[in-house]
């Protein structure tokens, strides 16, 4: 009786954590798996580049699969299974690239595969990362007077022509680029280092617009600078580009490879 009492909470914990029964034992059927791979590169306002490659494996019930005998590879390099931290709400195991010598580059093709427990390797697909954003494509001003509208210009941030559309259709690929703006109140020391930063909790202080192909402009009206967070001194500008490649059968519907590029800029807002 005591054994039953002890086992019940443990089984309940696994249900809460959403752990798939495929996390243990042999998995030889790829049609049981939903695999989502994310490869991302972000460039901060200071020019610092951060890279990340992660993969998430789930079953048909959307439960996480954390089977150490399943491998995810990028260009032949195996990702490492991170079991994740468990708590009352769940566990979030995933695969990640831990080899620092493997540098994720812009405008480079990356091929992903999965190796099941019997050693059989399946192709997931190949995706090409977005090219870096050049100053010719987008170069916002370093400062702006708050009593004037701000016009941002860009060129060819989201390539689009008949050949690109044909290629995307054939590959099962979609893409979108967004321009995002937000306000920040930053306090700096005598060496111009930020030691305190306050953002806004008001939805009106966040702007988002889709970026199309060719040459475009977007004007931020004066009214935006006047509220709700009126006493801010920094405008955060983000170019967020994402493209997604569907992973085809035999894998479960919803499987995909995503490439994301995030560029962050700051504009000093003056009085």
Residue 84: C-alpha distances to residues 90, 91, 214 (Å):
9, 6, 43
Check if the beta carbon of residue 111 is closer than 8 Å to that of residue 126.
yes
Instruction: Evaluate whether residue 238 is within a structural domain.
Output: yes
Instruction: Evaluate whether residue 256 is within a structural domain.
Output: no
**Three-state DSSP class for residue 22:** helix
Q: Provide the residue-wise pLDDT of the chain in tens; the chain has 271 residues.
A: 333 333 333 333 333 346 899 999 999 999 999 999 999 999 999 889 999 999 999 999 999 999 999 999 999 999 999 876 554 445 578 999 888 888 899 999 999 999 999 999 999 999 999 999 999 999 999 999 999 999 999 998 887 665 666 666 767 788 899 999 999 988 777 676 766 778 888 999 999 999 988 899 999 999 999 888 878 889 999 999 999 999 999 999 999 999 999 999 999 999 8
Residue range of the domain that includes 13? 1-129
CATH value at residue 223: 2.60.40
Check if the beta carbon of residue 97 is closer than 8 Å to that of residue 80.
yes
Clarify whether residues 110 and 225 are in a common domain: no
How far is the C-alpha of 223 from the C-alpha of 230, rounded, in Å? 10
Instruction: Evaluate whether residue 251 is within a structural domain.
Output: no
Clarify whether residues 124 and 138 are in a common domain: no
Clarify whether residues 139 and 124 are in a common domain: no
Clarify whether residues 166 and 102 are in a common domain: no
Residue 242: C-alpha distances to residues 36, 178, 218 (Å):
14, 9, 20
Clarify whether residues 137 and 268 are in a common domain: yes
| Dihedral-angle region of residue 90 (phi above 0 means left; psi in -120 to 50 means alpha; beta otherwise) | left
Nearest to 174 by CA among 243, 107, 110, 253: 243
Clarify whether residues 141 and 240 are in a common domain: yes
pLDDT at 120: 97
How far is the C-alpha of 239 from the C-alpha of 41, rounded, in Å? 12
Domain count, the chain: 2
pLDDT at 3: 32
Nearest to 112 by CA among 18, 36, 8, 184: 36
Clarify whether residues 98 and 218 are in a common domain: no
Q: State the pairing for strand pair 256-270/143-145.
A: parallel
pLDDT in tens, 10-41: 333 333 346 899 999 999 999 999 999 999 99
Instruction: Evaluate whether residue 254 is within a structural domain.
Output: no
Q: Final residue of a domain: which of 129, 145, 167? A: 129
| Dihedral-angle region of residue 108 (phi above 0 means left; psi in -120 to 50 means alpha; beta otherwise) | beta
**Three-state DSSP class for residue 209:** strand
Indicate whether this model's pTM tops 0.85: no
pLDDT at 106: 92
Q: Final residue of a domain: which of 101, 129, 157? A: 129
Q: To the nearest 10°, report the CA torsion of 64, 68, 71, 72.
A: 40
**Three-state DSSP class for residue 177:** strand
Clarify whether residues 193 and 234 are in a common domain: yes
pLDDT in tens, 224-242: 998 888 788 899 999 999 9
What average pLDDT does the chain have? 86
Clarify whether residues 56 and 157 are in a common domain: no
Residue 206 parent element (H or E) = strand 206-210
Instruction: Evaluate whether residue 88 is within a structural domain.
Output: yes
Q: Final residue of a domain: which of 110, 129, 148? A: 129
Q: What are the residues facing 265 on neighbouring strands?
A: 237
Instruction: Evaluate whether residue 249 is within a structural domain.
Output: no
Instruction: Evaluate whether residue 253 is within a structural domain.
Output: no
Clarify whether residues 100 and 183 are in a common domain: no
Instruction: Evaluate whether residue 151 is within a structural domain.
Output: yes
Clarify whether residues 120 and 138 are in a common domain: no
Q: State the pairing for strand pair 94-96/49-58.
A: antiparallel
Clarify whether residues 35 and 117 are in a common domain: yes
């Amino acid at each position: 009786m005591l054994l039953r009492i002890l086992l019940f909470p443990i089984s309940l914990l696994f249900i809460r954590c959403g752990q798939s029964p495929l996390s243990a034992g042999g998995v030889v059927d790829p049609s049981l798996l939903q695999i989502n791979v994310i490869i991302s590169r972000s460039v901060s306002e200071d020019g610092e580049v951060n890279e990340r490659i992660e993969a998430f494996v789930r079953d048909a019930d959307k439960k996480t699969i954390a089977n150490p005998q399943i491998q995810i590879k990028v260009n032949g390099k195996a990702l490492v299974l991170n079991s994740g931290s468990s708590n009352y709400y769940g566990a979030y195991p995933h695969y990640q690239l831990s080899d620092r010598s493997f540098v994720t580059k812009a405008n480079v093709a990356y091929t992903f595969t999965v190796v099941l427990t019997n050693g059989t390797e399946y192709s997931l697909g190949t995706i090409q990362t977005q090219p870096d954003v050049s100053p010719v494509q987008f170069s916002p001003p370093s400062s702006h007077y708050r009593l004037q509208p701000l016009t941002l210009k860009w060129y060819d941030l989201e390539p689009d022509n008949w050949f690109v559309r044909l290629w995307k259709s054939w590959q099962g690929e979609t893409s979108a680029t967004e321009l995002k703006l937000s306000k920040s109140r930053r306090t700096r020391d005598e060496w111009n280092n930020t030691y305190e930063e306050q953002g806004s909790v008001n939805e009106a202080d966040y702007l988002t617009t889709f970026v199309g192909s060719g040459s475009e402009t977007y004007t931020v009206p004066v009214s935006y600078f006047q509220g709700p967070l009126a006493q801010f001194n920094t405008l955060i500008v983000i170019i967020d580009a994402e493209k997604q490649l569907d992973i085809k059968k035999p894998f479960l519907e919803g499987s995909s490879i995503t490439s994301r590029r995030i560029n962050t800029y700051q504009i000093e807002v003056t009085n």
